[in-house]
C-alpha cells in the first residue's frame, strides 16, 4: 500500500455557523480523564485479534506502565484534597472519587482480558504461567529447590512489634503481608509480618525441560514465595496473607531558587523518590479486609485507593515473558528501517547538506542517519565545535559516546543536559558528570525551565569561513526509542536557521538576552503567541470567505488559551483537524462551539510522537515542526522550538506522510465525539483497512540486503 503524493485534500465541507461576538462557553474535557481515555485506546490493541499474541501482552503491560506513571505524577493533588476534606485548587473529593472510579474500571478490564483471553490463548500455544495448585509433584519439587537456593537467602521477614515498626516499603516493589497465629520465640503474639521481596529477583522463572515437557512453562516469583510462606515463619501458622504493592508520588520537586547546585540537589532527591507519599495500594483479590484495612491505615490511604487485582500486582513485570518466549510467529514481523532516502551512503553529510535540507522520517527511516552525521562531525578534523541538547538518551548511548570521543579529539563540545527529564534524571546526571570529567562544557539550561528542545549544531572550518550544520528534531536523541516512536529529523545548512540555533545555544549557556531570531519560534518567549497569531490569521481569513485550513499533529492538547483560539477560528469558518495521540481537552464537533473542529487519535504499532503544525490561507501554506506539545508547561515553563519547513517538496512530503496519512487512516484511528468519548474508525482492527503506519512501512521497506540502521 502506498500513500498519495497529491496535495492535501480538504475534508468534506462542513457548514460553518455564523460568527458570534459572544460565543457560547466551552466546557473543556477533564485532563486526567483524557489521559485515562488514551490508555483505554492503548488497551484496545491488547484486545485486537489482528495483533499477534505476544504483542497484545505488550500493550497490556504498556497500559500498566502508563498507569504507574499516572499515579506517580497525577494522583497526589487529588489525595491531598481527600485528606484535607476540602477543595485544593481544581481538585476535590468528588474529583478524586471520579478519577478512582474510572481507574478501577480500566484496571478491571485489564485483568479480565489477562485472565479470560490472553492467558488461555498463551496456553493454547503451549506457554503457561503455572500456579502452585496446578503444579505436579515434580514441578513442586523443582520450585521448592529453586526457592531454597535462589530466593530464601535474600528474604528477611519482619514481625511487627514496638521494636520492629512497619518497614519502609519502596515504590512499586513486591511485598507480602501475613497474619500469623501462635507466639514468637519470645512468647509474644505479634500477628502481622511483612516480607519485602528484593528487586534483583526475576519476577518470572522458566522451568527446565525436565519438568515442563514439551511446553514452555513459567512460575511467578510471587507464587513461589506464596507456596513457601510458612517456611519463613517456623513454629507459626500462616493464616491470612496477600502480596501487595504500593505506588508513591515520584515527581521530584526541587526549589531551584534555593539551591546552589541543581545536580547535587537532584541526586539527593533521587535517593528519596522511592519513599514518597503513598498514592495507591494494590493487593491480591483474596486479601482479607483485616489485612487490607491494616495496609490502608499504614499508608494513610482512603479506601478508593485500594485495588484488589485478580493476578500479579505488577503486570508491567510480565514484559519479562515477552523476552523469555522465543516465538517469532507471535510477534509483529520485524521492521528494519531503511537508510534515509535523501542520503547517499558513504558520501559526506556536509557535502550533501550544501545541496539542500534532508528529512528523516523515523522509524521508517533509520536513526543511523543522525548518528552518521554526528560521527562524521566527530571524526572530521575541520569540525571545531559541537553543541547539543540532551533530554532523554538512555543509560547506554552511542550518541553520548560519540560526544565523549569528540572531546578526546580536541573539539569544543558543549552539551545542554536537562537534569529534570522525568524518570531519566539519574541517567542524565551520570552523563553530565562523565562529560565534565573529560573536559566538555556542560550546562543545565535556564533555572525554572526544562530544556525540551532537540538540536545539534556543528561548526566547521571551510576555507576562510566557519560554516554551521544543524540537526533539529521532534523527538529525543535516543536510538532505542527512535525505532519505536514516529519523529521527524531535519538536517540543514540553511544559514538563517543555523544562526538561530547558535543564538539559542548561547542564550542557554550564558543566559544573556536572546537576540531576535530569524526563523525559529522559541518558548517560553514567543512560541505560544506566534502560534495563536497564526490561528487567528487563519480564522480572520475564513471569516472573509477565504478557503482556510489548520491541521495540527501533537501528543497532547491541554493549553486553554490555544484551545480557545482554535475554537474561535473554527467558529469563524476555518476547517480544523487535530491529530492528538494522547490527552485532548478540547471537545470536538460540539454544536455552536466546535462544529468545524475534528479530533482524532492514532494508536498504532509505533508511538506517534512527531509534532507538525500546518496553516493554509488560500494557496499560501505554512508548516512548522516542533519539539512542543500544546500544553501550558511546554509553552511557558520549557525551552521549546518550532521551525518552518520552507522547501515545498519537503513540506509536501511531511503533509502527505504525517497529516494526510493520519486523516485517511481507518485502521488505527479513533475519533473524538462531542461528549468526550472516542469512537473507533470504521475499519479499526481490520488488517485490510488503510493504516498510515502500515502504508509507510511498506513505502520505506528496505530492499533485501540493503537494510541499514
d(CA 247, CA 250): 9
Nearest C-alpha neighbor of 628 from the set 461, 471, 518, 472: 472
d(CA 562, CA 556): 12
Looking only at Cα atoms, what is the longest distance across the chain?
89
Helix (H/G/I), strand (E/B), else coil: 309: strand
**Residue 618: C-alpha distances to residues 537, 569, 657 (Å):** 12, 15, 22
3-state SS, one letter per residue, for 361-416: EECCECCHHHHHHHHHHHHCCCEEEEEEEECCCCCCCHHHHHHHHHHHCCCEEEEE
d(CA 58, CA 594): 36
**Residue 564: C-alpha distances to residues 22, 65, 180, 605 (Å):** 13, 32, 60, 32
- List Cβ<8 Å contacts ≥24 apart for 316-319: 316/61, 316/64, 316/65, 316/68, 317/203, 317/204, 318/57, 318/60, 318/61, 318/203, 318/204, 319/58, 319/61
Joined together, the cell numbers standing for residue 203 give 519476577
Nearest C-alpha neighbor of 93 from the set 357, 288, 305, 272: 305
d(CA 694, CA 12): 25
**Residue 370: C-alpha distances to residues 195, 344, 459, 622, 709 (Å):** 48, 13, 16, 25, 10
- Per-position DSSP letters for 313-351, written without gaps between them: S-GGGGHHHHHH---GGGSPPP--PBPPTT--TTS-HHH
Backbone φ and ψ of 662, nearest 5°: -70, -40
Nearest C-alpha neighbor of 488 from the set 369, 634, 631: 369
- Whether 335 sits among the annotated catalytic residues: the reply is no
d(CA 219, CA 203): 9
* Secondary structure tally for the chain: helices H, strands E: 22, 27
Residue with cell 556536509: 350
Nearest C-alpha neighbor of 310 from the set 563, 131, 521, 58: 131
402 neighbors 371 (Cβ within 8 angstroms) = yes
**Residue 100: C-alpha distances to residues 107, 300, 302, 311 (Å):** 10, 16, 11, 20
User: DSSP label at 18?
Assistant: P
d(CA 295, CA 310): 18
Residue 213 CB neighbours (<10 A): 11
d(CA 709, CA 707): 7
325 neighbors 218 (Cβ within 8 angstroms) = no
**Which residue in 78, 452, 490, 507 is the catalytic one?**
452
Joined together, the cell numbers standing for residue 218 give 513459567
d(CA 314, CA 310): 11
Joined together, the cell numbers standing for residue 452 give 525540551
Joined together, the cell numbers standing for residue 593 give 462551539
Positions marked catalytic: 452
Amino acid at each position: 500500500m502506498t500513500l498519495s503524493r497529491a496535495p492535501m485534500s480538504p475534508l468534506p465541507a462542513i457548514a460553518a455557523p455564523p460568527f458570534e461576538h459572544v460565543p457560547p462557553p466551552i466546557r473543556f474535557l477533564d485532563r486526567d480523564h483524557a489521559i485515562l481515555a488514551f490508555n483505554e485506546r492503548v488497551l484496545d490493541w491488547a484486545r485486537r485479534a489482528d495483533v499477534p499474541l505476544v504483542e497484545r501482552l505488550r500493550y497490556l503491560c504498556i497500559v500498566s506502565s502508563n498507569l504507574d506513571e499516572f499515579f506517580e505524577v497525577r494522583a497526589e493533588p487529588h489525595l491531598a484534597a481527600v485528606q484535607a476534606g476540602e477543595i485544593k485548587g481544581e481538585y476535590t473529593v468528588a474529583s478524586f472519587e471520579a478519577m478512582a472510579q474510572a481507574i478501577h474500571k480500566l484496571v478491571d478490564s485489564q485483568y479480565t482480558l489477562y485472565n479470560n483471553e490472553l492467558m488461555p490463548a498463551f496456553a493454547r500455544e503451549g506457554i503457561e504461567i503455572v500456579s502452585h495448585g496446578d503444579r505436579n509433584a515434580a514441578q513442586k519439587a523443582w520450585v521448592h529447590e529453586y526457592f531454597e537456593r535462589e530466593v530464601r537467602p535474600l528474604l528477611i521477614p519482619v514481625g511487627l512489634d514496638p521494636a520492629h515498626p512497619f518497614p519502609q516499603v519502596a515504590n512499586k516493589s513486591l511485598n507480602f503481608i501475613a497474619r500469623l497465629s501462635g507466639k514468637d520465640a519470645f512468647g509474644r503474639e505479634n500477628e502481622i509480618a511483612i516480607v519485602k521481596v528484593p528487586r534483583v529477583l526475576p519476577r518470572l522463572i522458566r522451568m527446565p525441560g525436565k519438568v515442563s515437557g514439551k511446553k514452555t512453562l513459567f512460575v511467578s516469583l510471587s507464587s513461589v514465595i506464596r507456596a513457601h510462606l510458612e517456611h519463613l515463619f517456623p513454629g507459626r501458622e500462616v493464616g491470612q496473607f496477600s502480596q501487595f504493592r504500593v505506588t508513591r508520588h515520584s515527581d521530584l520537586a526541587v526549589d531551584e531558587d534555593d539551591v546552589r547546585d541543581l545536580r547535587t540537589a537532584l541526586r539527593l532527591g533521587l535517593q528519596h523518590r522511592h519513599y514518597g507519599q503513598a498514592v495507591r495500594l494494590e493487593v491480591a483479590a483474596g486479601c482479607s479486609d483485616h489485612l487490607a484495612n491494616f495496609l490502608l491505615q499504614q499508608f494513610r490511604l482512603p479506601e478508593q485507593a485500594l485495588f484488589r487485582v485478580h493476578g500479579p500486582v505488577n503486570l508491567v513485570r510480565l514484559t519479562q515473558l515477552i523476552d523469555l518466549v522465543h516465538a517469532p510467529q507471535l510477534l509483529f514481523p520485524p521492521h528494519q528501517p531503511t537508510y534515509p532516502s535523501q542520503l547517499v551512503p558513504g558520501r559526506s553529510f556536509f557535502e550533501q547538506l550544501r545541496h539542500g535540507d534532508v528529512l528523516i522520517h523515523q522509524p521508517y527511516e533509520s536513526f543511523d542517519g543522525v548518528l552518521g552525521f554526528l560521527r562524521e562531525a566527530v571524526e572530521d578534523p575541520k569540525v571545531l565545535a559541537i553543541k547539543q541538547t540532551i533530554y532523554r538518551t538512555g543509560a547506554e548511548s552511542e550518541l553520548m559516546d560519540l560526544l565523549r570521543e569528540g572531546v578526546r579529539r580536541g573539539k569544543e563540545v558543549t552539551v545542554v543536559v536537562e537534569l529534570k527529564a522525568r524518570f531519566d534524571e539519574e541517567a542524565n546526571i551520570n552523563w553530565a558528570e562523565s562529560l565534565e570529567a573529560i573536559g566538555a562544557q556542560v550546562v543545565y539550561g535556564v533555572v525554572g525551565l526544562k530544556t525540551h528542545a532537540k538540536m545539534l549544531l556543528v561548526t566547521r572550518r571551510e576555507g576562510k569561513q566557519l560554516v554551521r550544520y544543524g540537526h533539529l528534531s521532534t523527538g529525543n536523541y535516543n536510538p532505542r526509542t527512535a525505532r519505536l516512536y514516529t519523529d521527524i529529523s531535519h538536517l540543514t545548512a540553511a544559514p538563517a536557521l543555523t544562526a538561530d540555533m547558535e543564538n539559542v545555544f548561547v542564550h542557554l549557556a550564558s543566559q544573556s538576552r536572546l537576540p531576535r531570531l530569524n526563523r525559529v519560534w522559541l518558548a517560553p518567549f514567543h512560541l505560544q503567541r506566534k502560534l495563536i497569531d497564526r490561528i487567528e490569521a487563519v480564522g480572520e481569513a475564513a471569516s472573509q470567505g477565504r478557503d482556510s485550513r489548520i491541521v495540527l499533529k501533537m501528543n497532547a492538547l491541554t493549553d486553554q488559551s490555544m484551545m480557545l483560539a482554535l475554537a474561535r477560528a473554527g467558529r469563524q469558518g476555518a476547517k480544523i483537524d487535530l491529530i492528538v495521540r494522547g490527552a485532548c481537552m478540547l471537545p470536538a464537533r460540539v454544536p455552536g462551539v466546535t462544529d468545524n473542529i475534528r479530533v482524532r487519535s492514532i494508536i498504532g504499532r509505533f508511538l506517534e510522537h512527531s509534532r507538525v503544525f500546518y496553516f493554509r490561507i488560500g494557496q499560501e501554506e505554512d508548516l512548522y515542526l516542533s519539539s512542543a506539545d500544546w500544553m501550558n508547561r511546554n509553552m511557558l515553563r520549557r525551552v521549546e522550538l518550532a521551525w518552518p519547513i520552507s522547501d515545498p517538496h519537503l513540506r509536501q512530503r511531511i503533509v502527505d506522510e504525517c497529516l494526510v496519512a493520519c486523516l485517511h487512516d481507518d485502521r488505527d484511528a479513533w475519533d473524538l465525539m462531542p461528549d468526550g468519548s472516542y469512537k473507533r474508525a470504521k475499519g479499526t482492527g481490520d488488517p485490510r483497512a488503510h493504516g498510515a503506519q502500515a502504508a509507510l512501512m511498506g513505502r520505506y521497506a528496505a530492499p533485501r540486503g540493503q537494510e541499514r540502521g
